[in-house]
C-alpha cells in the first residue's frame, strides 16, 4: 500500500479534469503531513489516471490534472 494511496483514490474519484488542493487538504485526506517524499510518490498517481501539473510552494497548493 502506498503512503499516499488514500489521496490518489480521493483524486481519482473526483469528476473533474483539473483539481487544486492545498497542502493542508492533502494532509487531511492522506492522514499525514506532506513532505519531500511527495515528489517521489507523485509518480504513482498516473496509475489512477492523473498527474501533478504544478506544485506552488508560495500558495501551498498542488494542481492535479486528468491524463
Residues of the chain with pLDDT under 70: none
Pull the grid cell for residue 15: 469528476
What is the pTM (predicted TM-score) of this model? 0.92
Cα 63 to Cα 23: distance, rounded to the nearest angstrom:
11
pLDDT for residue 1: 73
Residue spans per domain, the chain:
5-66
Amino acid at each position: 500500500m502506498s503512503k499516499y494511496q488514500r489521496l490518489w483514490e480521493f483524486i481519482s474519484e473526483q469528476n473533474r479534469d483539473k483539481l487544486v488542493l492545498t497542502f493542508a487538504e492533502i494532509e487531511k485526506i492522506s492522514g499525514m503531513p506532506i513532505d519531500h517524499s511527495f515528489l517521489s510518490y507523485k509518480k504513482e498517481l498516473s496509475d489512477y489516471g492523473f498527474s501533478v501539473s504544478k506544485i506552488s510552494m508560495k500558495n501551498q497548493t498542488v494542481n492535479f490534472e486528468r491524463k
